A and B are shown apart, each in its own frame.
Chain A
Amino acid sequence: MSSTDTGRSPGTVQTDDPRSLAVRIRGLRKSFGTLDVLRGIDLDVRYGEVVCIIGPSGSGKSTLLRCTNLLETPSAGRIEVLGVEITDADVDIDAVRRHIGMVFQQFNLFPHLSVLDNLTIAQRRVLKRSRQEATRIAQENLARVGLSEKSQAYPNQLSGGQQQRAAIARALSMNPRLMLFDEPTSALDPELVGEVLTVMRNLAAEGMTMLVVTHEMAFAREVADRVVFMDGGVVVEDGPPSEVLTSPRQERTREFLHRVLDPTHLTRDELTGEEATTDSVAS
């Protein structure tokens, strides 16, 4: 696994050649006790692609994302990430994870470390970079997310939007080939969502491969190459945003989009027939 990246050519690779795939998931199942959260997922993500996963709460989209770097252990199925089959028990998952960045809903910055140390600790302890090199790379990434002035601040001195941007910079400092975003703006006050989405859009424009669980339909429409709609632990619809978000083929997708896009005008049936669509605390 060399550190040079050869696979970033968005849009040009259209074959199903496994080597063009950053993520290849087949027959993924996951249950928590008797609860089947994922019930047979197939999903491909090509290098350079931005894929947004949408769907109601409890549809399994976060669990799918967390299986992609084995934060959750799949019950069955096969996952290949960056050409490595991570569902093989003999694979050193730590070695794979350092190439996969992840951004959480709750930011999960390390509160006992300054922003700079948040960005350098894994570079130094995992990648064995020197202090100088780690600091240089951290400063570059802080500049990328517009937080150069905050390197000495502690996480609790930052706004939610700044914390999330710092968390993105922390992930980028490991030079990942793939970025996972688990509802990155769901915990933010509305006026802080934009700054995080802007950073993510810039990242997409640079050709980063991204798998994003989100409720931001405008972001998905503008930035995603593909939108995946999940419901009840299966992929219901998968296609370009112009199809899935504008003229969905499946009735379930239509219902979901209606509820998300026009939430104050639900019919009586929608209120009584379905469980609440508001997302409670994830996982």
Chain B
Amino acid sequence: MTSDPPTETAPPASGNLPEPIVVRRGRFSPRQRQRFTRLIQYAVFVVIVGLVAVTADWNRLAESFFNTEVIGELFPEILRIALINTIVYTLLAFAFGLVVGLILALMRLSSIGPYRWFATAYIELFRGLPALLVLLAVAYGFPLAFPNLYIPGGGYGEIALGLGLTAAAYMAETIRAGIQAVPRGQMEAARTLGMSHTRAMISIILPQAFRVVIPPLTNEIILLTKDTSLVYILGLSLTERELTSFGRDAMTQYVSLTPLVMAGLLYLVITVPLSQLVRHLEVRTARKVGSVQH
């Protein structure tokens, strides 16, 4: 500070260092402020939970949600018929949707225009329509329009088709994205080794694409599991009922909410492990994909 540096155009000398930046301090530090707001949040949350716990009529709730007598009546049919049917409908629709979805995805990526147009039109159509409408059309509309039409598998075939047609559109888009996520160099490397386009697709591209696509496809199974509830509209026979229609019938029969609660819990028995699986797979895929190029 003692010597005044020459105010020439010369570059800053050692006595002319830039001044340190100034950070003003408020009354509370950011950390203190954060602690305070969090405290208020906790307090509000505890008050609300406490109010609900105090005002609720717990006996009444237990009576209607978990009526043990009604629960006893539901078993074992709710497992033997309803749960099994839900799973079977889901798997049938998924299998149908997967096959059609794969074909549509390949058509969508084809170099042949009409294939692409058809696949695009299909996907837009069935993603835009409510699944319930498609299901109704297949189960009631088709037999009216084509009296001689025979859908293999009877009721099971109708449901696989009615739900699978919509699922195929979603899965096609997922699979297409998976195929496109495989770097172009993979196809080029396969082709330079003399593989045909089809051979390269089967041996090189699809195995990599499916690895990427397994988590979203598992998600699709979860959505399909819930969508099987739509078949209640079809007027199923006693042994064809799935969880929702079974629960609804039992609700009317026993005049109780409990059957629906039980049906709901059984849906969760299917969907919660699946979504945990999806999360696990996503983490694994992210790690794998991330480590391919380093």
Contact = CB atoms under 8 A, between A and B. Distances in A.
Nearest to B289: A111
B192 A97 contact: yes
24 contacts: A94-B191, A97-B191, A97-B193, A98-B194, A100-B192, A101-B192, A102-B192, A104-B189, A106-B183, A108-B183, A108-B186, A108-B188, A109-B189, A110-B186, A110-B208, A112-B207, A122-B190, A125-B203, A126-B193, A126-B194, A127-B194, A156-B291, A156-B294, A171-B193
- Size range of the chain A interface in the assembly: 20 to 34
Interface of A: 69, 71, 94-95, 97-98, 100-102, 104, 106, 108-112, 121-122, 125-127, 155-156, 167, 170-171, 174
B264 to A, nearest CB: 40
Contact of B189 (A95, A108, A112, A126): A108
Contacts of A156: 288, 291-292, 294
Interface in B195-252: 195-196, 199, 203-204, 207-208, 211
Interface in B154-199: 183, 185-186, 188-196, 199
Contacts of A121: 193, 203-204
Given A125-B195, A156-B288, 19 more contacts: A69-B192, A71-B191, A71-B192, A94-B194, A94-B195, A104-B189, A108-B183, A108-B185, A110-B186, A110-B189, A111-B208, A111-B292, A112-B207, A121-B203, A126-B193, A126-B194, A156-B291, A170-B193, A171-B192
Contacts of B203: 121, 125
Nearest to A126: B194
Contacts of A125: 195, 199, 203
B193 A98 contact: yes
Interface residues of B, number: 22
A155 B203 CA distance: 17
Nearest to A98: B194
Of all A-B residue pairs in the complex, the 9 with the closest CB atoms, nearest first, are: A98-B194, A122-B193, A108-B189, A108-B185, A102-B192, A126-B194, A97-B194, A156-B291, A111-B292
A155 B211 CA distance: 16
A238 B204 CA distance: 39
A111 B294 CA distance: 13
Interface in B42-57: none
Contacts of A171: 192-193
B293 to A, nearest CB: 8
Of listed B192, B199, B211, B291, residue having the most chain A CB within 10 A: B192
